[in-house]
Amino acid sequence: MAARAALRGGQQPLVRVVAHGLDADPRRLGQHPDAQAGFSPWGSSYGHAHEHIRTDSRAWLDGWAWQQVAAQLTAAGHRAIPVTLGTASSDGLAEHTAQVSRVLAEQDEPVVLVGHSYGSFPMLAAADAAPERVARTVLIDAPLPEDGESLVDMVPEQRATVTGELVRYPEVAWLDGGDLPAEIAEQLPQRVPFWPARSMTEPIRLTGAFKNLPMTGIFCTLSGADLPLVRGLHATGAPRFAWLANPANRYFELPSGHCPMFSMPERLAEVLAAAARGEGEPLLGE
């Protein structure tokens, strides 16, 4: 009952976009010699009447990954719209962005877009192209690209793995952070065994309009990112991190690995509902 009560608060439309891919390792950020390099405060080392919630799958995942979170939100009176990004070899970032944009265009009022991992790329590109349709962006353990960057630009050592049109599911332990249910860990490589390489190499196109939108960052602390880390990045004075302290931006920490939709779906649903209401901690304090 407590979880449902927390979810029922706030009546702002919410469209949720979630996806996952090869992201920058936040544990390396503080040691990188150039704070302006293509690294992200979020991500892992491998790459209404009622609220409207739209979900895109991460790379190597489809909409099923968000069924538990969507069910929690739906039970609380919100509207969940799971969306699966295309996995054909011809599907690049531009096509994934178009998928997000089409769903945005179908809504009759501004929504909140949520990107998990690689999903921040098409989510931010769509928000940047139509900021009037977006009330807030939400980033879950996700990279934060600048105009002209691709996923492999943010993880240069992974470029060598993109040797064909499709990339095989990564066999790496950091995905679960030690909290991924065993049955889910077994299913992941079979659900979407390959992901289009084009989505990893295609550069994102941004005008910067998305930075004027309210943003919520959700850090999965078992992946290595947290508020102190991002405060440190902002303190470097690097231009790419300046907007993180915008007054309307808010932050949450989850004691989870990279995939909280599997390890703590109820808590993640609560946090997403709170994010839609503009709750959370400011980067630099009130």
Domain range list for the chain: 2-276
Q: Does the pLDDT of residue 154 top 80, yes or no?
A: yes
User: Superfamily for 2-276?
Assistant: Alpha/Beta hydrolase fold, catalytic domain (3.40.50.1820)
Tell me what the pLDDT averaged over the chain comes to: 75
Q: Are strands 79-83 and 111-116 parallel, antiparallel or unpaired?
A: unpaired
Task: Note whether 23 and 119 are within 8 A (CB).
Answer: no
**How much helix, strand and coil, in percent to the nearest 5, is found in the chain?**
45, 15, 45
Q: Residue 198 has what pLDDT?
A: 84
d(CA 89, CA 95) in angstroms, rounded, equals: 11
Of 75 and 16, the one with more pLDDT: 75
Query: What pTM, to 2 d.p., does this model score?
Result: 0.79
Average pLDDT over residues 206-220: 97
Contact 269, 77 (CB under 8 A): no
As a whole number of angstroms, the distance between CA 212 and CA 279 comes to 18
Distance in angstroms (rounded) separating the CA atoms of residues 45 and 28: 9
Closest to 180 measured CA to CA, from 222, 143, 142: 222
**Closest to 149 in 3D by CA, of 182, 114, 125:** 125
Strands 250-254 and 215-220: parallel
pLDDT at 123: 92
Closest CA to 172 of 184, 185, 181: 185
Give the model's pLDDT for residue 283.
97
- Tokens linked to 57: 């799958």
- Token pair, residue 185, equals 């860990």
Q: Does 139 score more than 70 pLDDT?
A: yes
Question: How far apart are the C-alpha atoms of 182 and 178, rounded to whole Å?
Answer: 10
DSSP assignment string, 186-247:
HHHHHHS-EEETHHHHSPP---SGGGGS-EEEEEEGGGT--HHHHHHHHHTT-HHHHGGG-T
Please state the length of the chain: 286
CB 227 within 8 A of CB 283: yes
| pLDDT digits 0-9 by tens, 164-205 | 777 766 655 555 667 888 887 777 766 665 667 788 889 999
- What is the per-residue pLDDT across 15-74, written as a single tens digit (0 to 9) for each? 444 444 333 333 333 333 333 333 344 433 222 223 444 444 444 344 577 888 888 888
Supply the pLDDT for residue 23. Answer: 36
166, HSE (Cβ side, Cα atoms, 13 Å): 11
The one-letter code for the residue type at 219 is F
